[in-house]
Chain A
Amino acid sequence: NAGVTQTPKFRVLKTGQSMTLLCAQDMNHEYMYWYRQDPGMGLRLIHYSVGEGTTAKGEVPDGYNVSRLKKQNFLLGLESAAPSQTSVYFCASSQTRDRVEHFGDGTRLSIL
């Protein structure tokens, strides 16, 4: 009964490096989301997916790419990390578009 699992939990990068964050859900949900959470700003939507093979931009998509090749996995990529991308990243999934109930435990990413 894992729910939504994010890997890694922590990562430190240097400016310009690339990396991929993995989100996996075992609930057969159609919708998956990537958010970032910064102090005093709540969660902001980066990208989302409404089903396998689909992705769409959210509120703050610049500097990120995503892929949803398998229904259970949603990958978030940083092509060339910048200090402004230092944040806590949350993945979420839902069966319906209205009720986002399931979040992962987050990935704390620091870019130096």
Chain B
Amino acid sequence: EDKVVQSPLSLVVHEGDTVTLNCSYEVTNFRSLLWYKQEKKAPTFLFMLTSSGIEKKSGRLSSILDKKELFSILNITATQTGDSAVYLCAVHSGVGGNKLVFGAGTILRVKS
């Protein structure tokens, strides 16, 4: 059974801290791994990773994939209160068509 596990489940940091969120997976026919940020409503797409070792970066956020060890990390540097959200990791499995398996998410709270 396909599985995506995120850790930690939640964390609280202070503004300016750097955080690392983890996502490990076990899926058949891995195609890609995606990160989303979810505030009150719709998940917002952050990154899609398909190749090991290539960092994707957008401002203070970056992510990297390790296909050998089956995990990805999402880093946020110089955190701000606006980074408070649930961060979702999802893995796309090619078996059976269109299966995007989500982790339960990491709840991040940034205190001022």
Chain A residues with CB under 8 Å of chain B are 4, 31, 33, 35, 40-45, 48, 50, 56, 58-59, 90, 97-106
Contacts and interface: CB of A to CB of B under 8 A. Distances in A.
Interface of B: 4, 31-32, 34, 41-45, 48, 50, 88, 90, 92, 97-105
Contacts of A41: 104
Given A98-B31, A98-B32, A99-B34, A45 B100 contact: yes
Given A90-B42, A98-B32, A100-B34, A42 B4 contact: yes
Contacts of B88: 42-43
B78 to A, nearest CB: 26
B105 A106 contact: no
Contacts of A98: 31-32, 48, 50, 92
A97 to B, nearest CB: 5
A38 to B, nearest CB: 10
Contacts of A90: 42-43
